[in-house]
Structure 1
Amino acid sequence: MDQSAQELTARGERLRELHRGPDPFVIANAWDAGSARLLGGLGFAALATTSAGLAHGLGRADGAGLVSREETLRNASVIAAATDLPVSADLEDGFGQAPEEVARTIAEAGATGIVGGSVEDTTADPHTPIHGFELAVERVRAAVEAARTLPFPFTLTARAENFLHGRPDLADTIRRLRAFEEAGADVLFAPGLPDAEAIRAVCSSVERPVNVLASGAAAGMSVTELGALGARRISLGSGLSRSALAGALAAAGEVADRGTFARMTEAVSKSEVDGWLRD
C-alpha cells in the first residue's frame, strides 16, 4: 500500500503516542512482508525490522557489515508497505562512521514508509567495536537533526551497544544514553543488559522512553515485570525469525538424519496461512 504524507503523519503520531501510554508495549520484529502481515493480524500495535532476520534471509551473518544500506532500506520499504501499522527500522550503525553518513541514512529512510529507526554506536570493527563517546554523540545528533527535517513524526532510537560487544560497563552505557537523550533521541536502548537491576538502573537514569530487548535475562520476564522496571517498549529482535528457523531446521534435520517426516506434520497448514494472509 502506498503511504501518503497524511498516512505517514498518522503512523508517526501513533508510534509516538504508544511511547506515552501508561503501559509498556511490545514492538514485534518482522523480517519480510509475510511476517509483517501475520504479526499485524495478532494484534501488535507496531512493528520493527530486524537486521539479523534480514541478514539470515539473505544467507549472510549479522553484524559484520555484510548488508548494505540499500538492502536494509528496501526491506524496510517492503515491510512498511505490507501493513498499516507504524514501522520502525533497525538501521544498524547508520551505514557509515561519519555523522553525515548517519544523517544520510535517516534521510533516505524517510522515503521508505517507516516512521522510526534506530542507530547504534557500533563500528563494525571487532578490534574497536564501539565508537568513542564524542563521536557516538555527534552521530546521534546528526540522526536527530535529519529526522526533524522529515515531513512527518519520526521516532529516533539511539542504542548503546556495550553489553553486546564484550564491554559490560553499565556506568558508561548510562553515560552514553544520557548524552544521546540530551542530543535529542526520542527512545533509548541498551541491548544485552544482564539482569533486572541493570534494566532498572538504565530506565531510572533517563527521562525518555527506554526500549528493552526480550533476550537473555529479559526473556525470562513478562511484559508486566519489564514495565515495572521502567521499560516503555519491548522489542523482540531476531527472536521470531530465529524461532522460525529453529522449526525449519528441526524438521529438515529429522528428514536428513532419519528419513522421516513427523515434524512436518506439526506445521501450520498452507490453507491456514493463506487464510491469514487473505484476511
Structure 2
Amino acid sequence: MSTQAEKAQTLAQLHAAPEILRVPNVWDVVSAKAIAALPETRAIATAGHSIAATFGYADGEKIPLEVMLDMVGRIVDAVGDLPVTADLDAGYGNAGETVRRAIGVGVVGANVEDRLRPLDESVAAVAAIVAAGEAEGVPFVLNARTDALVRGGDRPLADSIADAIERGRAFLDAGADLVFVPGLLNADVARQLVEGIGERKVSVIGIPGALRAAEYEALGVARISYGPTTQRLALTALQDLAIDLYADGVVPSTIRALN
C-alpha cells in the first residue's frame, strides 16, 4: 500500500507527464469503485457539486464540511492506491484548515476556487493550503481554480483571459501545482492560457461543446475533469430507463452489475 506522501507524488507526476490526465469525477463509493475498476484510471477526482446533490444540498458550500469530508474519506478508502483529489469549493472560509482536515481523511490534492476574490486574498489562501500540506508531511497537489472566465460577467473575453493568467501565475508562485480555469475553452483560448500560465500547468473542464481531451493535450494542457456532468449522465440514464419502464419497456440485457 502506498503512503499518502507517495500518492501525492504520483498525482504530481501525472500532471507533469506529456499525456493529459483524464479524471471522470465521482460522487460516492459506488461511482468511485466503478471508475477505479477501469485499467485506464490513474487518479480519482471528486465532484463537490455532485456530492452535495447526493445529500440534497445545492452547490456552493451549502453541504456541511464534515458531511462532504466523510464521503470523500469513504471514497479514499474504497479506491486503494489510487490518489484522490477533492473538490473543496472555496475552502469553507479557512482553506488551510479545510485542507488539513482533507489530508486527515486521505486526500492528496484538491481544487480550491478563488470566486474572483481580491488577488491578495486568493494568493493568501493558496499559501495557507501549501503550508497545511507541509505541516502534515504531504506534498499536497493544489489545482488552484480561478473563476476569471466563468465569473467575468460582461467584460471582454480578452480581459478575462488576462485576469486568469495573472491569477494563475500568482497562484503558481505561491506554491500551487497547476491552475484550473473552468469554462467553455476553444483552442485559441486554451492556447493563450497555456502560453501565459505555462506548459502542463493548466487544468480544464470537459463540458458539452468543449474540445476532445487529446486536442487539449496537444495544446499543452495538463488535466481535464468533468465536474457534475458524470452524475448528470448517470441520472439521465436512470430517468430514461424509468420512462421506458413506465411505457411497458423491459430492463436491457446490456446492464452491467457494477454494484
TM-score of the two chains, using structure 1 as the length reference: 0.84
2:201 touches 2:221 (CA, 8 Å); kept in 1? yes
- Which structure 2 residues correspond to residues 124-143 of structure 1 after superposition, within 5 A? 130-143=116-129
Identity of aligned residues (%): 33
Moved more, 101-110 or 130-139: 130-139
From the superposition, tell whether residues 102 and 263 of structure 1 become closer, same or farther in structure 2 (CA, over 3 Å): farther
Structure 1 partner of 2:42: 45
Offset, 1:166: 4.6
Aligned length in residues: 251
Q: Distance in 2 between matches of 1:230 and 1:54?
A: 30
Q: Counterpart of 2:30?
A: 34
* Residue in 2 that maps onto 1:180: 171
2:85 equivalent in structure 1: 88
1:61 CA drift (Å): 2.1
Structure 2 partner of 1:111: 104
Which letter maps to 1:197? D
Give the C-alpha shift of residue 134 in structure 1: 1.7
CA contact (8 A) 2:112 2:143 kept: yes
Tell me the secondary structure at the aligned position of residue 224 of structure 2.
strand
Structure having greater relative contact order (Cα 8 Å, sep ≥ 6): 2
Counterpart position of 1:265: 252
Partner SS state of residue 173, structure 1: helix
Q: Does 1:58 align with 2:43?
A: no
Q: 1:263 to 1:86 in 2, by over 3 A?
A: farther
**Aligned partners of 1:170, 1:9: CA distance in 2, in Å?**
34
Which residue of structure 2 aligns with residue 234 of structure 1?
A: 224
Number of the residue aligned with 2:197: 206
The letter of the residue matching 2:258 is V
State the SS of the aligned residue for 1:149.
helix
Query: 1:28–1:46: 8 Å Cα contact kept in structure 2?
Result: no
Distance 2:65 2:188 in 1: 35
- Once residues 188 and 75 of structure 2 are traced to their aligned partners in structure 1, the CA distance between those partners, rounded to angstroms, is 35
**Alignment-mate amino acid for residue 118 of structure 2:** G
**C-alpha separation in 1, matches of 2:250 and 2:100:** 45
Q: List alignment gaps of at least 5 residues for structure 2.
A: none
3-state SS, counterpart of residue 234 of structure 1: strand
Secondary structure (helix, strand or coil) at the match of 2:258 reads helix
Distance 1:137 1:261 in 2: 57
- RMSD value over aligned CA atoms? 1.9
Alignment check: 8 A CA contact 2:52 2:68 kept: no
Distance in 1, matches of 2:127 and 2:240, equals 45
Say yes or no: does 1:18 pair with 2:14.
yes
Q: 1:251 to 1:121 in 2, by over 3 A?
A: same
* Unaligned 5+ runs, structure 1: 123-129, 275-279
User: Which residue does 1:127 correspond to in 2?
Assistant: none
Shift of 1:9: 2.1
Tell me the TM-score normalised to structure 2 length.
Answer: 0.90
Amino acid at match of 2:17: G
